[in-house]
Amino acid sequence: MGRRCGVLGDPIAHSLSPILHRAGYAELGLDWDYDAHRVGSGGLPDFLDGLRHQPGNNWRGLSLTMPLKREAVPLVDELSERARWAGAVNTIVFDLDRLVGDPVLVGDNTDIPGAIAAIRERTSAPLATAVIIGGGATATSIGLALADLGVRHLEIVVRSTERAFATVEAVRAHPGRPEVSASRLDEVTAFEVDLVACTIPAHAQDARLVRACSEVPVLFEVLYHPWPTPLAASIGDRVLVGGLGLLVHQAAVQFELFTGQPAPITVMRAAGQQALAERASS
């Protein structure tokens, strides 16, 4: 029987996830489908409840984007260790092997391994110091990934330091015990670190922020739409880790969790690149 998967969030029309996952299904000859569903803040409980009780349930997995990653934590039946660390779920797997009545929902976080793979795909340089711009759920996952990669001094830069509390606490609890601090975005002058990761919208990346990042050797821009962002456009001959790389690598981990088969990552990446090229030319 064909399975169903999907991506939830708001906004969601820009998401490339359906294109990536469908390309993977086609490559492996799977009779599966993957759609985008607009679900805003507060709407996830009803959406999940509707899926749990569908007759002949054939749902296998969900990808979650903003603003649902933290909202999903108390709504699943089980959490993976990395989702528990992050306090954020970007993946829900319907565990049908233990199906007795309603399916068991397992929350996971593929942003962490996806970020590690995306960074190491572009650079093998040692990373000891880093800045993350933004303090949301994605920033937390990026912070944990950087701690896994050896970063020991991490600064979270946000509009208001109160916004960074959850991220600071989660990354400080990493087994590597990195030193984590928070500072205000409007106080930024210049960053002298090994890597800057930016998780804020393109419209919030002003000229002052671009200048502050101008000497950083590795820039991790987690967005892929719109592209290029002001920070990505300023990269010059420095190393750029792009949002498409993060999307592809985290989607590959999701694909394997959903299907139980290795993800055809080259095919999935090519599908994403083609879609972005078509958007740019339209």
- For residues 140-147, give the mean pLDDT: 98
The CATH class of the 4-109+245-281 domain is: alpha beta
What tens digit of pLDDT does each residue of 4-21 get?
A: 999 999 999 999 999 999
- For residues 97-119, give the mean pLDDT: 87
Terminus-to-terminus CA distance in the chain, angstroms? 37
The pLDDT > 90 percentage for the chain reads 89
Please, which pLDDT band fits residue 121 given cuts at 50, 70 and 90?
very high
Residues 109, 112, 118: CA angle, nearest 5 degrees: 130
Please, which pLDDT band fits residue 98 given cuts at 50, 70 and 90?
low
pLDDT beyond 90 at 241: yes
Please, which pLDDT band fits residue 99 given cuts at 50, 70 and 90?
low
Mean pLDDT for the chain overall: 95
Nearest in space to 87 (alpha carbons), one of 66, 106, 73, 105: 73
- For residues 162-170, give the mean pLDDT: 93
- Report domain extents, the chain: 4-109+245-281, 112-244
Please, which pLDDT band fits residue 237 given cuts at 50, 70 and 90?
very high
- For residues 59-67, give the mean pLDDT: 96
Is the separation of the CB atoms in 17 and 251 below 8 Å?
Answer: yes
Q: Where are the alpha helices (DSSP H) in 90-164?
A: 111-122, 137-148
| Fold agreement (4-109+245-281, 112-244) | yes
What tens digit of pLDDT does each residue of 79-93 get?
A: 999 999 999 999 999
- For residues 143-160, give the mean pLDDT: 97
Please, which pLDDT band fits residue 2 given cuts at 50, 70 and 90?
confident
Please, which pLDDT band fits residue 57 given cuts at 50, 70 and 90?
confident
pLDDT of residue 65: 96
- Superfamily of domain covering 112-244: NAD(P)-binding Rossmann-like Domain (3.40.50.720)
Looking at this protein, which amino acid is placed at residue 164?
A: A
Please, which pLDDT band fits residue 45 given cuts at 50, 70 and 90?
very high
Is the separation of the CB atoms in 223 and 247 below 8 Å?
Answer: no
pLDDT of residue 3: 92
- For residues 198-218, give the mean pLDDT: 97
Distance (Å) of CA 262 to CA 142, 253, 256: 24, 9, 6
Active-site positions read 69
